[in-house]
Structure 1
């Protein structure tokens, strides 16, 4: 039924009309009721009629003059959690964990608890208690946050470790569709993680070792295996004092069992392996008899051991070039970047000029003082000038270029030109040691440069996902925390891959930030509650399309 205006006797009438089909199936209309002359109906009468009809439809809205004002509840973020939930299910992580954590004894949803901990790492990394505060500000589709408590989260972490092997195997099956047919190379690297707290427990993972962050001793080490495009495949935790070479074989053996890896090439940064460990690396043999290939960056401090290789090759002057040589039966690849060399040379010269200018000022002040020219303030001394200048040189790490002396209580300094010339010969050089003889020299350099992506993965873990510091002390809780952060890194990398494929001008963090503006709004008017979502912009809709997920729907929240 609907309302129609009809003419009769020169006047307009408002009538209620119904459509129906006659015996021949043709559409007809008939008048049900006459509501009155249109010129005699005022706005109040029409609104009253509408309100009366709404009472029978269940959508009555009290009028403002009834003394009932709308009560607005706090808006809750829904954009990022909707996107992550859709992606979580698309990757199959939800069904995988629901099956692995299925238990008749547990009275809460373990998969939902894991999902909350992973999403919190990506949206607003907090402690497990902080996660509950975060839940008060967001809506996670399919999860009632009021039913999740801190003990639930800790018990879920214990359940994760009880099903650890099954979860690792199921996760590898979920990752296979994301990989190429055959993974030609994997990258492995280590980073150190800080753990707070003291005391000792059985099978304690916490051991003091050298920290890669220079912020105190490490307490445990995280090993991470990634593909060339940055997709994480596996991880493992080791004690903080473990020898780095000893972590390689167990990790690689497990990856070979789970993924179709065609060839194992260990690509290592300067900090992973020292040259003293190369012989140990060459002795490692996989279970199927395969030897490990490696591409190892030579630390800059060891370039002097390769001076013969570096000085013995000539490079093109204005363009990047790659040359190779041999040393002790191993292949040495040397890459030269003129632009990078120019930047390094100018930076060094600029700092050197600043230090020389400081030394000259100190020496001139002393000479003027000896000539009887005094200045206001405390009298200068050669020993004081020496201490100040030597400290500046040391803090700039320029001791090899500037020699500071105090002979017969007289301050002097000189620039070591031969050392400066040697450093300038090494500017823009990257020295790689490898046993992969079947690759072109340019391919060796390209594969090493791809290692930068795994370093970015570690930065995401530490800066965005905030894997550290860890406040758990039980070994299984520490491992469960690492697994949660690994799942967060996996989702981060999948999002980054989809953004790159569509050439989106956003990082993952920026994309999630833009989606935070999508919120769930609720208003109470009388005895009825109305819910709605923030109207989405074209940019936000494009982000959902880029991520290959549906846009938020109020009925699903």
Structure 2
């Protein structure tokens, strides 16, 4: 048995052949057609397929119950790759009882004739394993073994409308299921905002032009506000018009926490983009506390005097300091200022909040601040050499270090602004209304804000939530429901693995799931399955999820039995 390359129609084809003797002459017969050589060259699984096929042929000639005589090329079909790893997510899907919820809602006074559970799950796993358009999802639906359902393209689009209509109830349901199933305790909530762009320049009620965090200047966008718990699992989200500024999203999110999830006692952790005085007032009036970054350079003269006065600074205790050294550098100190934050609402009425302002200094941050400033100063000098680029001067980026010369229209380097910023190197401030929290706890909670930043990175890169190609508002919103479900499954799987001592990144999880494939072939009308070699943490994932892997070689019917047992 050997691999043979033949020429046909201008291409080279790879085939597995064997020699046999007939009437005293040596002849060859084709056992398997791999396909075109140019498409197989970069496929690392190719050599494994050859080896496994060799094992199959030997088995078929020694096992009388499976005996197959291959007489010609037409007896063997081309190989088809079928993913079975999706059953990991299907098991989570059913443990969260998403299937039950969707089936119940699809029959509640609606004229939905397709299987909303299966269509929703198809779009969700496609978003997880290989994000693509709904049209390509439809064309690729048969790649999942045992999932060859009679689904048409229109059902995918109609399902998006359906998901949009039940989004609010689905969120509440999933929050309750997570709390019951995983004993989820929500005492700290991280909140942040990002923008998601469209391949379009047509604005409407939801899509609009605004400040893009993806630097997409000429494309419309929506603003996404996301809530995650301290384990990095999503709690809920809201969509806002693309021109909504970060600080204006807080009211709706707080209403969601209070009314939908009935969460009464939490601390909200957010970055400085959400730190407006009105937001802090709204948080406290809702009965919640906050930990937010403070705009130190905008602080009062009295506060700044305290910041730069070295007396009163403390180090963290030895144990905490050693743990924090990698984060903060070889020198880290802090000072706590107790103060009353006086806030005036739109009507001029005063509202007082007792809070702690935690001033920190980090040598690691000081080095970074210096490097960032020197880079901007260098760019500012380049602008001075090319004065035509200093039109419409704004005090942003490198332009913050330029100023007009007195009585002229010429620009010069603003040495005073450079020296002023230099004083703040290494300093940072966090304000909190949770006065009974230790400094270590406050700093730890704020440092964990990276979890939501990581969440946005995962959603934008791994799940490829952007760009969006849908145009109706309902289907745009339905698309986000699919992304939310995919993100929830992924984060839940990470959480379960972490609890079992298996730290596996989002990328490695998806690589492992994507490698769980069958090679499906048909010999004389009978289908067989060869298990492809898995990658990364596949074994750990299966063991933790209590899923027994398939045999190396099975009939099609045995494969269906394997899928049915493990769903």
Could you tell me the TM-score, scaled by structure 1's length? 0.71
User: 1:124: which partner in 2?
Assistant: 130
Q: 1:340 aligns with which of 359, 365, 380?
A: 365
CA contact (8 A) 1:224 1:235 kept: yes
Q: How far, CA to CA, are the matches of 1:168 and 1:414 in structure 2?
A: 53
1:309 touches 1:326 (CA, 8 Å); kept in 2? no
Does the aligned pair in 2 maintain the 1:183–1:227 contact within 8 Å? yes
Matched, 1:297 2:293: yes
- The equivalent residue for 2:79 is 74
Partner of 2:158: 155
- Contact 1:192 1:218 (C-alpha < 8 Å) held by counterparts: no
Match of 2:178 in 1: 175
Residue in 2 aligned with 1:452? 450
Query: Are 2:221 and 1:225 aligned?
Result: no
Residue 365 of structure 1 corresponds to which residue in structure 2? none
Give the gaps of 5 or more residues in structure 2: 1-59, 316-329, 342-354, 552-558
Question: Could you tell me how far apart the structure 1 residues matched to 2:250 and 2:223 are?
Answer: 12
Gaps of 5+ in 1: 1-49, 360-382
Report if aligned partners of 1:51, 1:60 keep a CA contact under 8 Å in 2: yes
**Paired residue for 1:497?**
495
1:303 to partner: Cα distance: 5.6
Distance 1:284 1:139, change over 3 A: closer
Give the corresponding residue for 1:144: 148
Distance in 2 (alpha carbons) for counterparts of 1:75 and 1:483: 31
* Residue aligning to 2:118: 112
Change (3 A) 1:86 1:328: closer
Cα separation, 1, equivalents of 2:384 and 2:214: 34
For the 8 Å contact 1:224–1:232, the answer to whether it is kept is yes
Q: 1:164 to 1:518 in 2, by over 3 A?
A: closer
Residues 183 and 262 in structure 1, CA contact (< 8 A), matched pair in contact too: no
Aligned equivalent of 1:368? none
Aligned CA distance change for structure 1 residues 195 and 346 (closer, same or farther; 3 Å): closer
* 1:270 maps onto 2:276 in alignment: no
- Can you list the C-alpha shifts for 1:186-208, whole angstroms capped at 9, x where unaligned? 1222222223446687xx32343
Aligned with 2:86: secondary structure? helix
Q: CA deviation at 1:256?
A: 3.4
User: Are the counterparts in 1 of residues 283 and 289 from structure 2 also a CA contact under 8 Å?
Assistant: no
In 2, Cα distance between equivalents of 1:294 and 1:262 = 13
Shift of the 284–504 alpha-carbon distance from structure 1 to 2, 3 Å rule, reads closer
CA distance, structure 2, for counterparts of residue 487 and residue 134 of structure 1: 20
TM-fit CA distance, 1:96: 2.5
CA contact (8 A) 1:338 1:428 kept: yes
Counterparts of 1:143-542 in structure 2 under 5 Å? Answer: 143-145=147-149, 147-178=150-181, 180=183, 182-197=185-200, 204-216=205-217, 218-242=220-244, 244-259=246-261, 261-273=263-275, 277-279=276-278, 281-283=280-282, 290-299=286-295, 302=298, 306-314=303-311, 315=313, 318-326=330-338, 329=341, 330-346=355-371, 348=373, 385=385, 387=387, 397-398=397-398, 416=415, 419-504=417-502, 506-536=504-534, 540-542=538-540
C-alpha deviation, 1:67, in angstroms:
4.3
Query: 2:323 maps to which residue?
Result: none
C-alpha distance in structure 2 between counterparts of 1:394 and 1:196, whole Å: 28
* Structure label with greater radius of gyration: 1
Residue pair 1:519, 1:534 contacting (<8 A) in 2 also: yes
Query: Quick check: 1:77–1:516 contact (8 Å CA) kept in 2?
Result: no
Q: Is the 8 A contact 1:245 1:281 kept in 2?
A: no
The CA deviation string for residues 503-539 of structure 1, in whole angstroms up to 9 with x for no partner, is: 4453122222134333222333334332332255795
Structure 2 CA distance for aligned equivalents of residues 246 and 403 of structure 1: 32
User: How many angstroms apart in 2 are the aligned matches of 1:529 and 1:266?
Assistant: 55
Q: Is the 8 A contact 1:309 1:332 kept in 2?
A: no
Cα distance in 2 for residues equivalent to 1:182 and 1:385? 57
Aligned with 1:80: secondary structure? Answer: coil
Q: Give, in angstroms, the shift of residue 436 of structure 1.
A: 2.4
CA RMSD of aligned residues (A): 3.9
How many residue pairs match? The answer is 464
Mapped to 2, the partners of 1:389 and 1:228 lie a distance apart of 45
- Taking a change above 3 Å as real, the CA distance of residues 402 and 164 of structure 1, as seen in their structure-2 partners, is closer
For residue 20 of structure 1, what is the aligned residue in structure 2?
Answer: none
**Conservation of the 8 A alpha-carbon contact between 2:81 and 2:520:** no
Q: CA deviation at 1:259?
A: 4.1
CA contact (8 A) 1:188 1:223 kept: yes
CA contact (8 A) 1:282 1:292 kept: no
* CA shift for structure 1 position 180: 4.2
Q: Structure 1 residues 552, 247: closer, same or farther in 2, change over 3 A?
A: farther
User: Does structure 1 conserve the Cα–Cα contact (< 8 Å) formed by 2:515 and 2:535?
Assistant: no
In the TM superposition, what is the alpha-carbon distance from 1:426 to its structure 2 partner?
A: 1.5
CA distance in 2, matches of 1:486, 1:53: 49
1:61 maps to 68
Could you give the per-residue CA deviations for residues 98-125 of structure 1, whole angstroms, max 9, x where no partner exists?
A: 2222378544311111001111111111
Q: 1:119 to 1:390 in 2, by over 3 A?
A: same
In structure 2, the CA distance between the partners of 1:124 and 1:292, relative to structure 1 (3 Å rule), is: same
